[in-house]
Each structure stands twice: as structure tokens, then as C-alpha cells.
Amino acid sequence: MSTESQGVVETVHVPVMPDEVVHWMTEHAPRVMVDGTYGGGGHSSLLIKKLPPGEGFMIGLDRDPAVSERVDTESHDPRLTVFLGSYERIPKALEALEIPKADAILLDVGLSSDQLADANRGFSFTVDGPLDLRFDPEFGDPASDWLAWKKEDEIANAIYQYGEERCSRRIAKEIVTRRRKENPVKTVNDLVEICRRCVPPSKNHNIHPATRTFQALRIVVNDELGIMERTLKAAPEWLAPAGRLVVISFHSLEDRIVKNAFRDDERWNILTKKPLRPTDDEVRMNPRSRSAKMRVAELA
């Protein structure tokens, strides 16, 4: 979440698996590191300390304009440059700084606490607001618009495929029924109420009935999996010899894509045969880290 002090927006987002990120990103003494999901800057602030004194580059990218606005209000190490854009645009960032290749790239593809706290974005089930779900409000269609014109089977298939929600058809039918009654789903609470009616109580009571549906819609409107697949395919071209790619994912669809991309591309040397998980201590201190999985590969 964010706080405001004297007009300056501050982040209180806690970086996930910070010790593991620093170890795997810096073990080979990189001079050019990229944080493709800059967010609150927590990982970058730790990584930049590992660069040679007064040397090297720390490059950040983030799709969220709110991140750029916050960064503009902060003072930074002169070796840090943050760009507005998806991590798919890493080569453009390198080109802008006249850097041929990166030595290490980090992708932490989870939602930040800052985004969850923004009522205008619709990421949190506990705060009502417009059902938007876009990382960049100036790009693409908000989730409410997407639901307003998609066919029932398309909505159901997306919720099932990207959210692994078994009640997807029931949810889609409710969404379309409301639309036909000229009462379309427009807000967070509209969709939460539908999910509560359609999804039976889970044995795991930590899972909110709307979790999987919101996840699916967020993935759809942001093209998250498409961007990840294209990035993983192209990333070897952005790295110097023996360069590393560290990816932290938060659900099975993302982790499967990372696992398969590393396994099926002979340009990668996999350094983590199984995904690394946060320690019990970290999960206690930062419950949102509990589903994190980290995979690391090195350019062969």
C-alpha cells in the first residue's frame, strides 16, 4: 500500500525473497542489472548496493504510471534509471542507455501492495471501486468493458483457463444475465457478489471466492501471460554471456510457463532444478509471499 506525506506518495511494498534475489542476481558480479518489475523499488535498492562502488547500471521498468510518478519525487543513486513500460521493453531501455547487454534480469510478476491499496484500480476485493484491473490505465480496456462485450462462453473459458476456477460457467452466466438486464458488472463489489453466490465455500478458507476470477480477468486485460511468454523467448538475446534471468511467479500458470521456457530452450542452463520458496520466517513476516516461486537460469 501507499502513504502520502506532504504530497509525496511513498511505497511500503515489501519485496519478496530479497536474500535469494540478491544471491542469484549478483553471484557472478554483474555490472548491468535490470529489474523488469520495479514496483516499490525494494529489490533494486538492495541490488544496486552490490554493484562496484560508483560503477555499473541498475535499470528499472514498470507498466504502472503511478510508479513513475512516485520515482520522480524520490532521490536515487545516479546509477539507477527507471523507465515506464512493460519488461517486454527491456531492449528499448538498454538501447536508450547505449548498453548492449544486461548481466542479470529480474522479473517479479506479482501484484504490489501499492496496487492492491489503490481503490481506483480494482485489484483488491476488500475495497470497492471501478473494476479496472489494468496496470497501465492508458492502455487497453478495463475489465468492466471487457465483460460488457464478450460472449458468455469466452468469459467462462477465460476464467477457467487463467484462474483455474471450476465455477467459471456459473459466474459467466451471472455476468451476462446482469448485462441483459441492463445492470452490467462495473465495480469490484458487483463482481465479488457474483463470485460469492457462485463459488461454494473453500476447504482452504484463506482463499476468497473471487480470487481466481479476479486473477483471470487481470491476466486477460494486461496480456500478462503473452508478455511473459514473449519475454522468456527473447530474453537470451538481451543477456551477456553467462547472464542470468531470475523469475518470481505467484501462481501455477506463470510458474509452468517459466519452467517450460527454461527447459525447452537450449540457450538456458537451469540453476534451480526445483523452484525456490520463501522461508517460513519470511511468510510469517510477509504473508503475501507464501505462494512465491523463484526459478533461475543462466545463459549457456
pLDDT at 5: 37
For strand 293-299 and strand 239-249, is the pairing parallel, antiparallel, or unpaired? antiparallel
For strand 293-299 and strand 268-270, is the pairing parallel, antiparallel, or unpaired? antiparallel
pLDDT at 2: 38
Give the rounded distance of the alpha carbon of 192 from its chain centre: 22
Full-model pTM: 0.89
pLDDT at 197: 96
pLDDT at 136: 86
Residues of the chain with pLDDT under 70: 1-13, 111-120, 204-205
SS3 267: coil
Answer for the pair 266, 44: CB distance below 8 angstroms, yes or no. no
Query: How many angstroms separate the Cα of 148 from the Cα of each of 96, 143, 152?
Result: 39, 9, 10
- What confidence tens digit (pLDDT) does each residue in 181-207 have? 999 999 999 999 999 999 998 776 678
SS3 245: strand
Answer for the pair 109, 228: CB distance below 8 angstroms, yes or no. yes
Answer for the pair 294, 20: CB distance below 8 angstroms, yes or no. yes
Measured from the Cβ of residue 229, the count of other Cβ atoms closer than 10 Å reads 15
> Taking all residues of the chain, what is their mean pLDDT, rounded to a whole number?
91
Nearest partner of 80 among 38, 108, 111, 18, judged by Cα: 38
Nearest partner of 14 among 118, 121, 105, 110, judged by Cα: 110
